[in-house]
Amino acid sequence: MGKCRILDLFSGAGGFSLGFSQVEQCNILLSIDNNQKLSETYCKNFPHIQHLDRDISSFTSEEIQELQNTYHFNVIIGGPPCQGFSLAGKIGRREIKDSRNDLFLSYLEFVKIIKPQIFIMENVATLKRHNRGKTLNSIKSAFLDLGYILHVDILNASDYGVAQNRNRIFIVGTKNKGFNFPKKHNKKISIKECIDDLPPLKSGENSTISNHNAMVHSKQMLEKMSFVKDGCGRECIPNELRPKSGDIRKYIRYNSKEPSIPITGDMRKVFHYAQNRALSARELARIQSFPDNFIFYGNSIDIQQQIGNAVPPLLAKQIANQVRIYFDKTLS
């Protein structure tokens, strides 16, 4: 058994788990998430990891302590969904009992009872400026009250070998000094470098590669996307066909020479740089740095959300390596 005994909270499809499991001395012992739609994906890709399909806010203090008595965790990873940060300036305060804060408060309770040597919390980068910074300050205060040294930074996945511009905030708490975030890479990976070897597909066409199937586009959508050039957007579409409203991040074509835009749970109106279709789930998973042997289960919408909500495994792996180095320093 390795030095790092890890609990993965809000494990999702398993991006954090996959990255950490690829580093020597890092062992995911238990994962918890209450989304039944992704449990099949997680369990089939990590058959050796115990998984609980349960809301973490449903655990009593006694149940959390029982888990700790069984597994002896010294690392907690994962990030509460951003909805849990709705009441800025009041998070972690005893007088606040609001259901919108349950997820973060429950995460905090796990940290409080388990007392890991290190925890890593990931969330959207906009958390840093939410409510003029008060939300982040409240979160930091809650962890500082537990005696943790905090390391906070916004990491762009494209700086770590992931073919995607994806900014996320990482809040790391340690019992001792000695943790450092991973060093940035010198080279950026373009989306074309990442996915261009996959077989081309037409609208509605399937392939023999797992999760590499094209969605069916309407005739009207195919006409609109045919006008959009590599790296361009809706401005290329003739005025009479151009959508007049909606998300400005839609009706665009990926820039083949650059890392991808952030992968989210709905990429249906962002088009392949050279083919008239949205990207397949396998292409999206590649951009998130999932290997081709990691299979996603569910309907097409569920799968896109599983992929879009994941921590890129390649970034997670580099953070895990820093955790291993931290343990080598502090436990040697």
What's the token pair of residue 12? 């999702």
The pLDDT value given to residue 97: 45
The pLDDT value given to residue 88: 34
The pLDDT tens digits of the residues spanning 170-182 come to 999 999 999 999 9
- pLDDT band for position 126 (50/70/90)? confident
- pLDDT band for position 105 (50/70/90)? confident
The answer, yes or no, to whether residue 94 has pLDDT greater than 80, is no
Boundaries of every domain in the chain: 4-187+311-331
Q: At what angle do helices 61-71 and 102-114 cross, to 10 degrees?
A: 50
Asked if the 4-187+311-331 domain carries CATH number 3.40.50.150, the reply is yes
- Residue 79 CA to residue 181 CA, distance in Å, equals 17
Mean pLDDT, residues 240-255: 85
- pLDDT band for position 86 (50/70/90)? very low
Q: Are 120 and 170 in contact (CB under 8 A)?
A: yes
Residue from 82, 289, 245, 77 nearest 171 by CA: 77
Mean pLDDT, residues 41-50: 97
The answer, yes or no, to whether residue 21 has pLDDT greater than 80, is yes
Residue 309 Cα to chain centre, angstroms: 5
Distances (CA, A) of 146 to 41, 68, 77, 111: 34, 17, 17, 9
The answer, yes or no, to whether residue 19 has pLDDT greater than 50, is yes
Q: Which residues are catalytic?
A: 82
The pLDDT value given to residue 98: 44
Q: What is the mean pLDDT of the chain?
A: 91
More confident residue, 133 or 312: 312
The pLDDT value given to residue 99: 53
- Residue 75 CA to residue 264 CA, distance in Å, equals 27
The pLDDT value given to residue 127: 84
The answer, yes or no, to whether residue 145 has pLDDT greater than 70, is yes
Strands (E), the chain: 4-9, 26-33, 50-53, 75-77, 118-124, 149-156, 167-174, 252-253, 270-271
Q: How many CA atoms lie within 13 A of 202 on its CB side?
A: 1
The pLDDT value given to residue 84: 46
The answer, yes or no, to whether residue 268 has pLDDT greater than 70, is yes
